[in-house]
A = this chain, B = another copy of it.
């Protein structure tokens, strides 16, 4: 069931993109992996592409997709979709805008998305887990309890954000319950392979595995638009400039990117730049779009 990493043309392209980056990561003692999943179900990988890591903020993409599928207009009354000039965990913007997070990918926004999913499903973290299991074809994906415990222990900043949102009346469930689901979604362990395959529906204009439509064509486009403008923290402009693809990064070093109509990519390497994005993963995607010419621009 694991995908063949055979030297097809796309596999070649992936290997050439990753070669220098992987060597540099290796020299620095960092791990590195990268995978690409095509629309017709092929998947190729290099390096530690099957090693699982907590997906952290990449979970926000799947949460957003579920919330948009459930009721987009209701969601967008409670969360904006503009890039933020402030850091991903800033409370300033929230105070300026009376509890409406600027977009669904800052922590505040993902907390509201979690609240929306809780109301819609009764189990926000479970709904996200089920989606990635189904779309990746890997039923073994699960929450890492140790990561959840660690998040909860140093969760003061998110608790502050959630209480502030709640104080403005933009939270339905209790702060504790929402944060628990938020933390568990972030603690899902997935590999580059799992993530690239699971996200293929965003490259396939909303159609998931076995041809089941998850999002309308418009909504798939819109999730990609939010990823491009808001997906890489306070460096979304830089990422669009260098890579030119919708992307979403996580603090554990993962970076998911979409080439609409072609493929989904995921790279991973733990060393982060000042904005919180993986140095090697950004470099690998930069190389990939340069070699392939596959940016959206």
Is A225 in contact with B241, judged by CB distance below 8 angstroms? yes
> Which of the residues B91, B162, B235 comes within 8 Å of A95, measured between beta carbons?
B91
Q: Is the interface of A mostly helix, strand, loop or mixed?
A: helix
Q: Is A16 an interface residue (CB 8 A)?
A: no
Chain B residues in 8 Å Cβ range of A63: none
Is B81 in contact with A221, judged by CB distance below 8 angstroms? no
Question: How far does the Cβ of A144 sit from chain B's closest Cβ, in whole Å?
Answer: 22
Chain B residues in 8 Å Cβ range of A56: none
Contact with B along A158-200 (1 / 0, CB 8 A): 0111111011000000010000000000000000000000000
Chain A interface category by residue count: 35 or more
Is A221 in contact with B156, judged by CB distance below 8 angstroms? no
Chain copies in complex: 4
Chain B residues in 8 Å Cβ range of A295: 221, 225
Contact with B along A58-97 (1 / 0, CB 8 A): 0000000000000000000000111111100011110110
A91-B95, A95-B91, A221-B295 as given contacts; A82 in contact with B237, CB under 8 Å = yes
Is B237 in contact with A229, judged by CB distance below 8 angstroms? yes
- Give residues of chain A (203-227) contacting chain B, Cβ–Cβ below 8 Å: 217-218, 220-222, 224-226
- When C-beta atoms are compared, the residue in chain B nearest to A290 turns out to be B218
> Which of the residues B86, B221, B240 comes within 8 Å of A244, measured between beta carbons?
B221
> Which of the residues B93, B167, B297 comes within 8 Å of A224, measured between beta carbons?
B297
Q: Is A117 an interface residue (CB 8 A)?
A: no
A244-B225, A297-B221, A297-B296 as given contacts; A160 in contact with B237, CB under 8 Å = no
Q: Is A103 an interface residue (CB 8 A)?
A: yes
* Residue ranges of A at the interface with B (Cβ–Cβ < 8 Å): 80-86, 90-93, 95-96, 102-103, 154, 156-157, 159-164, 166-167, 175, 217-218, 220-222, 224-226, 228-230, 234-238, 240-241, 244, 246, 260, 290, 293, 295-297
10 other A-B residue contacts (CB within 8 Å) besides A82-B237, A160-B167, A229-B229: A82-B238, A83-B83, A83-B85, A83-B236, A157-B163, A157-B164, A160-B160, A217-B293, A260-B296, A296-B297
